[in-house]
Amino acid sequence: MRILTAGFLHETNTFAERPADLENFENGEGFPALRTGSELFELENVNIPLGGFLKAMRPAGHEIIPIIWCAASPSAPVTSRAFETVVDMITRGCAEHSPDAVYLDLHGAMVTDRYDDGEGEILRRVRAIVGDQCPIVVSLDLHANMSSVMFEFADAMTAYRTYPHIDMAETGVRCAELMTRLAAGERLECAWQRIPFLIPINAGSTFMEPAGSIYHGLGRPGLDGDDLSFGAGFPAADIADCSPVVWGYGPDAVRIAERVAELAHLVELHEKDFVPELYSPDEAIQTAIDVVAAGRSPVIIADTQDNPGAGGEATTMGMLEALLRHNVERSAIGAIFDPAVAALAHEAGLGAVITADFPGSSAYGDVALKHEFEVKFLSDGRCRFDGPMMHGNELDLGPSALLCSGNVSVVVTSRKAQIMDRNQFKMVDLSPEEQNVVVVKSSVHFRGDFQPVAGEILVAVAPGPMAANPADLPWTNLPEGIRLSPMGEEFSMDFSSTGITLKARCAQAEQH
């Protein structure tokens, strides 16, 4: 086969402030930097879906037509400039090469400043060019917000089954298998079903229950060619398609419909279990002190509401302020995104004392912090991921520094990226496993590399743009009746002469 291959990934937080423009995709912001043409083959050994797909299909003798691959850190909607630039490259490639098949590495939760359903629009345009006989197979993030348009125009879609997403390359391999079956003439029937409640991202880790068992069941043997997915949804996109969805493809329409219904029922049975344990900053640090005193360290604290991997900016000061106040021996936080402070540290040099003026993020109730620090280490911000999350990715965070005050170490970078790998600390000469308390600007992805060395993991809720509880967000466009959190209130809209008003009704547990 001649297989056109492209990737365009963004997870959109419509409540965030800064949009994703073309420059954000060029750098990658924690993902691999933008690649075009034959440069895509440089990603074959990186743990992303494209890498797995290429490794599976190239040895089989297929001709890969590489177009573009890019991703950016979650943020406010993607600009039309970025969207049209990338999608135009993909559609022009389809028109020019008339491929036998198309593989797209997408996220599933992209919103643009023009389209609520970014992936649906990409698939609609591609299908209009390649026609109905050309198989289109898509890899998706576990947090996809699935739409009917996506199901209409794709022949098969399969999502990650781990969170942290350590199986991204494996998902690409499954796409290769699905494409091979479709190209051989097999018909894959599809069934899908929405789940009626939003799932907080911190509760969906497959290192915990109930997600661990649910996702593990998707890959059990004996499915007779069925491929099942559970998209937990991204609960910060104020669109009509924001919700968890279960779906599947298989040769038998009746069986796949039954299996999807069984999976949806299983997820709903565990609704009450998708509630995360959350701590205030002071509670998290005091709990960490107690855990360390009991002989278990390091304690990793997720600064989840400022996670750049979910729409945060890595700029809030709530957890840093608490660390400085408690001054816990061998404590650290990373990575704060502040090019000005990083530049000041590099200009002052090693051993200098600088006054860092962090502006914070007042829009979310956060406060600024002005404090003196010693410059302990300077770095060019380049590191390679050795942990399982996006293993092999090469990251460029720009001029970076390790600042210290008392017992507290602070990692400051010039580019934004959530913490996913211990090397993001080691690049400034700080080993997380040697600390007592480590605060990470992340929600779950850090667990892949940090959980094996952690004495305990806590989730803190300092002020920030990514609400740990979806019910705290000012929704206006959700599906009618969806519960805003597990076992929580339902969303509804009343249309009246005075405009749109919101109502929330308590969901009765016995009804579910």
Q: Where are the domains of the chain?
A: 2-273, 281-460, 480-511
The per-residue pLDDT for range 157-207, each reduced to its tens digit, is 999 999 999 999 999 999 999 999 999 999 999 999 999 999 999 999 999
| H or E segment to which residue 87 belongs | helix 80-97
Q: What is the Cβ-side half-sphere exposure of residue 352, based on CA atoms within 13 angstroms? A: 14
The per-residue pLDDT for range 401-448, each reduced to its tens digit, is 999 999 999 999 999 999 999 999 999 999 999 999 999 999 999 999
Residues 6+ away with beta carbon under 8 Å from 84: none
pLDDT value, residue 221: 52
Q: Return the SS3 of 101.
A: strand
CA gyration radius, the chain: 23
The per-residue pLDDT for range 292-315, each reduced to its tens digit, is 999 999 999 999 999 998 888 999
DSSP for 190-256? EEEEE-SB---GGG--TTSTTHHHHHHHHT-S--TT-EEEEE---TT--STT-S-EEEEEES-HHHH
- CA distances from residue 250 to 120, 180, 189, 257 in whole angstroms, order as listed: 22, 14, 5, 9
> Smallest Cα–Cα separation from 437: which of 337, 300, 281, 251?
300
Q: What CA–CA distance (Å, rounded) separates 476 from 116?
A: 13
Band of residue 261 on the pLDDT scale cut at 50, 70, 90: very high
Angle between helices 211-218 and 253-269 (to 10 degrees): 170
3-state secondary structure 321-390: HHHHHHCCCCEEEEEEECHHHHHHHHHHCCCCEEEEEECCCHHHCCCCEEEEEEEEEEECCEEECCCCCC
Q: What CA–CA distance (Å, rounded) separates 506 from 198?
A: 15
pLDDT value, residue 501: 35
Q: What CA–CA distance (Å, rounded) separates 316 from 314?
A: 6
pLDDT value, residue 507: 33
Q: What is the mean pLDDT of residues 52-75?
A: 96
Would the pLDDT of 504 be above 90?
no
* pTM recorded for the entire structure: 0.89
Band of residue 495 on the pLDDT scale cut at 50, 70, 90: very low
Contact 259/247 with Cβ under 8 angstroms? no
Q: What CA–CA distance (Å, rounded) separates 314 from 396?
A: 16
**Sign, CA torsion 416/419/423/425:** positive
Instruction: End-to-end CA distance of the chain: give it in Å, rounded.
Output: 48
- Average pLDDT across the chain, whole number: 93
